């Protein structure tokens, strides 16, 4: 199951980040809201970074090490690897 902020490589070979999207039933008396996770394709800078990091990810995973890649919130424009289960998983 995907989580908000998860990075994934799509079938077309491009990288995307799951992002929460809220849809409101505006103009309807009940005003219901629904939240969806949608993959949003990343820009070229991140495509290049993630493509370069992919061999490292595959090498760790081939050895049975659980590794995740994420955008680094403390350093915009950079990525980081984390080991173990994803902290943001629901």
Q: What is the pLDDT of residues 27-72, one digit of tens each?
A: 777 767 888 899 999 999 999 999 999 999 899 999 999 988 888 8
3-class secondary structure per residue, the chain: CCCCCCEEECCCCCEEEEEEEEEECCCCCCCCEEEEEEEEECCHHHHHHHHHHHHHHHHHHHCCCCEEEEECCCCCCCEEEEECCCCCCC
Per-residue model confidence (pLDDT) at position 84: 84
pTM comes to 0.74
Per-residue model confidence (pLDDT) at position 89: 47
Domain boundaries, given as residue ranges, for the chain? 7-83
The Cα angle at residue 68 between residues 78 and 6, in degrees rounded to 5: 75
- Sign of the CA dihedral with 86 first, then 67, 82, and 35 last: negative
């Amino acid at each position: 199951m995907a989580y908000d902020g998860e990075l994934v490589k799509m079938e077309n070979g491009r990288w995307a980040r799951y992002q929460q999207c809220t849809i409101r039933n505006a103009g309807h008396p009940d005003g219901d809201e629904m939240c969806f996770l949608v993959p949003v394709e990343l820009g070229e800078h991140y495509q290049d970074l993630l493509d370069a990091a992919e061999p490292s990810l595959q090498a760790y995973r081939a050895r049975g090490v659980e590794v995740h890649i994420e955008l680094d919130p403390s350093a915009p424009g950079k990525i980081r690897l984390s080991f173990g289960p994803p902290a943001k998983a629901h």
